Amino acid sequence: MGIVSPGFQGRPRTQEPALPPGQYLTEDFPVLSAGPTPRVSLDTWEFVIAAENGSEYRWSWQELMALPQETPLVDIHCVTRWSKLGTTWQGVSLDTLLDGVDTGAHFALAHSYGGYTTNLPLDDLRGGRAWVVHTFDGAPLPAEHGGPARLLVPHLYFWKSAKWVRGIRLKTMDEPGFWETAGYHDYGDPWREQRYQGD
């Protein structure tokens, strides 16, 4: 426990749901990104998985929509300390997309329209824990929240759920992404409060 702040009580707390340490609940859907919101046309949109051996696997918008769709209901946790519970999405599991991709890589670098990148261990994109989503709360994902499609990896801090996702490069070596080179944690587990480098 830290030093007590004289006179600080905090907000009245009654049966708060179990949140990761240091998080508070929000009903809003805040926006956090480093620059302007890219606008991506569905006609030219594509999602590309590039394996470490150079082979590429591509999906157009229509092809993505034709894949089996899932509707994850998940809690999300932003490193700026808000958490939002029970959010509903629709999209394609990374298991589906990675099925048939020939790789021995252990790391993935997600990259986005607009240039954003974020790194994750490849295992964290597998096992029903990650999706490319295009629908939030029953409606097309708005651009400011990463539409037309974003990554959804709810078990890590939300900056790992790259907005405007364009593809994933598979890597044998870990390569830090955008926020990770700007002082944020390499992995970002909210339950272990891995916010910044060194946590």
What is the footprint of other proteins within residues 150-179 (CB under 8 A)? 176, 178-179
Measured CA to CA, the distance from residue 62 to residue 56 in angstroms comes to 18
Asked if residue 191 binds other proteins (CB under 8 A), the reply is no
Give the three-state DSSP class for 48.
strand
Q: Kindly tell me which of 55 and 181 has the beta carbon lying closer to other proteins.
A: 181
Out of 88, 140, 182, 191, point to the residue binding other proteins (CB under 8 A): 182
Strand partners, 59: 47
Using CA atoms in the order 24, 180, 161, 131, what is the torsion angle rounded to 10 degrees? -130
Q: Kindly tell me which of 90 and 161 has the beta carbon lying closer to ligand FAD.
A: 161
Q: Are 168 and 111 in contact (CB under 8 A)?
A: yes
Measured CA to CA in angstroms, residue 179 lies from 92, 142, 197 at distances of: 25, 22, 10
Binding segment toward other proteins, per CB under 8 A, in 56-64, 92-100, 155-163, 181-189:
181-189
Q: Kindly tell me which of 80 and 197 has the beta carbon lying closer to ligand FAD.
A: 80
Q: Kindly tell me which of 73 and 182 has the beta carbon lying closer to ligand FAD.
A: 182
Measured CA to CA, the distance from residue 81 to residue 195 in angstroms comes to 10
Q: How far is the CB of 16 from other proteins (least distance, A)?
A: 10
Binding site for ligand FAD (CB under 6 A): 28, 80
What is the footprint of other proteins within residues 2-21 (CB under 8 A)? 2-11, 13
